[in-house]
Amino acid sequence: MNNIKIIQRPDEIVINVNIIAEIQEIVEELEVKLPKLKEFYQSSDIPIRVTGKLFTESEIDILTKLIRFFNRC
């Protein structure tokens, strides 16, 4: 569970992903960390930027849907 580091900056949230992590590991870790992040930034509109690993288009779609899902909850 050390594939993702979340860095909070005044103007954005940066999600730094380990470059050797597999997409399934990333999804599992985000499913744990995103609800906690949502609790902390309940009604904030701070943008989220993902850095580190280069993703394929399908992986980007998976991550985008996951982040949007937790943003709506």
Q: Which helix (H) or strand (E) holds 48?
A: strand 48-52
Chain segment 35-49, per-residue pLDDT in tens: 888 877 776 778 889
The pTM for the full model equals 0.84
The pLDDT assigned to 73 comes to 66
In percent, the amount of the chain with pLDDT more than 70 equals 96
Cβ–Cβ contacts within 10 Å for residue 43, how many?
A: 4
Question: Domain coordinates of the chain in residue numbers?
Answer: 4-72
Identify the pLDDT of residue 20: 96
Q: Vertex 36, ends 56 and 10: CA angle to 5°?
A: 80
